[in-house]
Amino acid sequence: MKKGRYVVLASGRGSNFQAILDRTRDGYIPAECAALITDNPGAKAIFRAQDAGVPVDVVDYRAYPDKTRYEKALITAISRYSPDLVILAGYMRLLGDRIVDEFSGRMMNIHPSLLPAFPGLHAQRQALEYGTKVAGCTVHFVTKDMDAGPVIIQRTVPVLDDDDEDSLAERILTEEHQAFPESVRLFFEGRIRLSGRKVRILS
């Protein structure tokens, strides 16, 4: 049987990228990481990829005169590896309609809140300011609307009275490192069924 392939887009330290790599190498995820693609030539994720022997493509946003040409180059870079799945693991740019359409139903993102609550930047800070008692993370398919795609997996954590943004983010990140590899695994096992906004997980 043909082995599945995924590429990861990351802009920063790449901790979720590392969690997915680790679960790929131990056989939990039945696929291979074809490449890391980053918009940031200084991203720590590059070193994680190099340590794992994963090819790296740098598509530096600053090298292009506008978003349209940048995204054309990004689509070219992704398509070069013929991935079954595109994973956004700390990729910090909003994607335009063309690239979202190109990989519709085959692009996942993770967000550090229980969507639809607290989309966008500083989700942990939003949760603390709101006074919620429960926070968490959401893995979802990417759509044209920011942090609004169909939900695949959510995991929760309590918000403690003495939490600050960093402590809550750390607790949520622990759950991200479980939820993201699980979602990728379900995708490659063919256990995800997407119907409109609803995701059904087959047993």
Q: What angle do CA 132, 136, 138 make, to 5 degrees?
A: 125
Q: Is 177 a catalytic residue?
A: no
Residue 30 and residue 108: Cα distance in Å, rounded? 17
Q: Which amino acid is at 145?
A: D
- Of 82, 92, 83, 74, nearest to 37 by C-alpha is 74
**Tokens 């330290």 belong to residue:** 13
Residue 18 and residue 49: Cα distance in Å, rounded? 8
- Of 176, 136, 126, nearest to 157 by C-alpha is 136
Respond yes or no on whether the N-terminal peptide bond of residue 116 is cis (omega within 30° of 0): yes
Given the residues 111, 122, 140, 177, the one annotated as active site: 111
Residue 199 and residue 114: Cα distance in Å, rounded? 16
Residue 92 and residue 147: Cα distance in Å, rounded? 12
Catalytic residues: 111
